[in-house]
């Protein structure tokens, strides 16, 4: 039984998760995510798929974030006719994300083409995929609920366990059974955190793995406590009320937006902040909130009580408004504060958030609130690092707005939370931990933290390097 694993993305970097498990020459693709970062580099990486689709036996999708599902439409486009396995909620969310990406690419091609004509330049860029490709990929997804074992190949069995990261997120536990022997390889996908609102905590009842492929996004950092973060969020709101300013929150449309709505609702109910207008300016976030409402199987007990037993809506309240049209979005820029605008894209690389930044980034009464991870070379990272000037849509803008960052809202476990999770699962058979989905420096620090806690056999996965699994 020859088993190897390698990564074609999220190896010594955070985005573009694409991992391959090879069993006796058959390839199983775990996640198929898009790279995010410098546009030219990301485009080049996303077009270099790295594996022929006729070699892929099955595809496993851990969750619906763009950096894990964003390249799935390239599979049917390249001739893949096999199955993509995902939880029911992940199927719905990833379909939404893929369609949104296809539409953004089509709009970008149209806009950039017109700009090239104006400048007399040749324009050859084409979208990676179309809406039809995204629809085809969704059609190949087979929904598998948590802890429902499914054979995905000869002697290869998949079982999903709740990762506690976003709605429907899963750890993929793969059992390889041949000739009376068994190997268990667990992929965490993105590992979530205990005590987050709406969704359940990461599962600890998975079978003891022989090998663990572990994310390491926050391998060198600790998150703020939730109550401390709530206090800081309240302070930001009160300051905006005092200055009649606006709060811009670049947020992932899925999970983070719904979670922020939950926290604003809680602060208003407690009387810690006045009721001010809150606008969710993202069609995808609006649609994602609808998906949340139809997947109560993913709720934690608190949300289940509020939403199912008492018919309270944890995703909306009187001060909350969802914008849909472009005209409604543009109108927000002419409104007087105080107000809150939650808008996608989470790393500020695309979407309506860029237009809001153009209108408000030079206003000292604006607060840009960073509530999630910002990958290297993204606009969000440059804002978080408080660079004096940033480029948006080809124009330079002075960063005069206030910038606040609250890490407690991250959906990724920090290094201590990850170690606590490791200590809670059965590691009696664990031979090695493979680190993926983290920047190089963070992974080095995380390796030391792991060693200090008794996990000494740790390998930082490098792009394209094959690792034998005994």
Q: Identify the structural domains of the chain with CATH numbers, from first to last.
A: 3-221+412-469 (3.60.15.10), 226-409 (3.40.50.10890)
Nearest to 29 by CA among 63, 51, 59: 59
- Which of these ranges, 27-31, 66-70, 252-256, 426-430, has the smallest mean pLDDT? 252-256
Q: What is the pLDDT of residues 189-235, one digit of tens each?
A: 999 999 888 899 999 999 999 999 999 999 999 988 878 888 999 99
CA neighbours closer than 13 Å in the CB half-sphere of residue 47: 10
- The three-point CA angle 52-15-209 to 5° equals 75
| Beta carbons of 370 and 347 less than 8 angstroms apart | no
Q: What is the pLDDT of residues 89-98, one digit of tens each?
A: 999 999 999 9
Which residue matches tokens 């709101």?
237
Nearest to 371 by CA among 295, 218, 257, 238: 257
SS (H, E, C) 30-81: ECCCCCCCCHHHHHHHHHCCCCCHHHEEEEECCCCCHHHHCCCCHHHHCCCC
| Beta carbons of 139 and 94 less than 8 angstroms apart | no
Nearest to 16 by CA among 93, 69, 82: 69
Tokens standing for residue 435: 């680190």
Q: How far apart are alpha carbons 407 and 385 in whole angstroms? A: 14
3-state secondary structure of 398: strand
Nearest to 411 by CA among 174, 233, 168: 168
What is the distance, to the nearest Å, from the Cα of residue 362 to the centroid of all Cα atoms in its chain? 29
Q: Residue 27: in which H helix or E strand, if any?
A: strand 26-30
Q: Which residue has the higher pLDDT, 17 or 111?
A: 17
**Average pLDDT, stretch 440-464?**
97
- The three-point CA angle 35-38-43 to 5° equals 50
**Average pLDDT, stretch 338-367?**
90
| Banded pLDDT at 178 (limits 50, 70, 90) | confident
Nearest to 463 by CA among 64, 20, 1: 20
Q: Residue 281: in which H helix or E strand, if any?
A: strand 278-281
For 379-399, give one letter per residue: b (16+ CB within 10 A) or e.
bbbbbbeeeeebebeeeebeb
Q: What is the pLDDT of residues 38-51, one digit of tens each?
A: 788 899 999 999 99
| Banded pLDDT at 420 (limits 50, 70, 90) | very high
- Which of these ranges, 32-41, 137-146, 287-296, has the smallest mean pLDDT? 287-296
């Amino acid at each position: 039984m020859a088993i190897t694993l390698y990564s074609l993305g999220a190896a010594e970097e955070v985005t573009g998760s694409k991992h391959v498990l090879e069993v006796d020459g058959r390839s199983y693709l775990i996640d198929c995510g898009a790279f995010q970062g410098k546009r030219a580099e990301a485009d080049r990486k996303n077009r270099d798929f790295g594996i022929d689709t006729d070699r892929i036996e099955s595809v496993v999708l851990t969750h619906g974030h763009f950096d894990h599902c964003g390249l799935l439409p390239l599979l049917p486009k390249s001739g893949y006719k096999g199955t993509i396995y995902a939880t029911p909620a992940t199927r719905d969310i990833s379909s939404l994300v893929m369609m949104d990406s296809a539409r953004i690419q089509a709009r970008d091609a149209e806009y950039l083409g017109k700009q090239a004509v104006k400048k007399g330049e040749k324009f050859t860029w084409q979208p990676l995929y179309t809406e039809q490709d995204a629809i085809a990929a969704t059609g190949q997804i087979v929904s598998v609920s948590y802890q429902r074992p499914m054979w995905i190949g000869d002697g290869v069995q998949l079982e999903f366990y709740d990762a506690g990261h976003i709605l429907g997120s899963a750890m993929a536990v793969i059992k390889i059974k041949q000739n009376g022997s068994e190997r268990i390889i667990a992929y965490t996908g993105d590992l979530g955190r205990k005590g987050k609102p709406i969704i359940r905590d990461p599962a600890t009842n998975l079978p003891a793995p022989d090998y663990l492929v572990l994310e390491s996004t926050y391998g060198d950092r600790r998150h703020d406590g939730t109550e401390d973060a709530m206090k800081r969020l309240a302070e930001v709101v009160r300051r905006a009320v005092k200055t009649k300013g606006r709060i811009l929150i670049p947020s992932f449309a899925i999970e983070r937006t719904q979670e922020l709505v939950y926290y604003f609702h809680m602060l208003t109910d407690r009387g810690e902040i006045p009721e001010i207008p809150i606008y969710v300016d993202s069609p995808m976030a609006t649609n994602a909130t609808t998906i949340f409402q139809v997947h109560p199987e993913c709720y934690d007990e608190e949300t289940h009580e509020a939403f199912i037993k008492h018919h309270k809506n944890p995703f909306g309240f009187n001060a909350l408004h969802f914008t849909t049209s472009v005209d409604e979005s543009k109108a927000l820029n002419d409104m007087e504060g105080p107000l809150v605008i939650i808008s996608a894209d989470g790393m500020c690389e695309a979407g309506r958030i860029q237009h809001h930044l153009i209108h408000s980034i030079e206003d000292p009464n604006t607060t840009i609130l960073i509530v999630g991870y910002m990958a290297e070379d993204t606009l969000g990272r440059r804002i978080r690092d408080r660079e004096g000037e940033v480029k948006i849509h080809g124009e330079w803008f002075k960063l005069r707005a206030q910038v606040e960052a609250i890490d407690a809202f991250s959906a990724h476990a920090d290094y201590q939370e990850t170690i606590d999770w490791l200590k809670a699962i059965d590691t009696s058979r664990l031979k090695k931990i493979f680190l993926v989905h983290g920047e190089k420096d963070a992974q080095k620090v995380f390796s030391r933290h792991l060693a200090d806690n008794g996990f000494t056999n740790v390998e930082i996965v490098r792009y394209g390097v094959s690792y034998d699994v005994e």
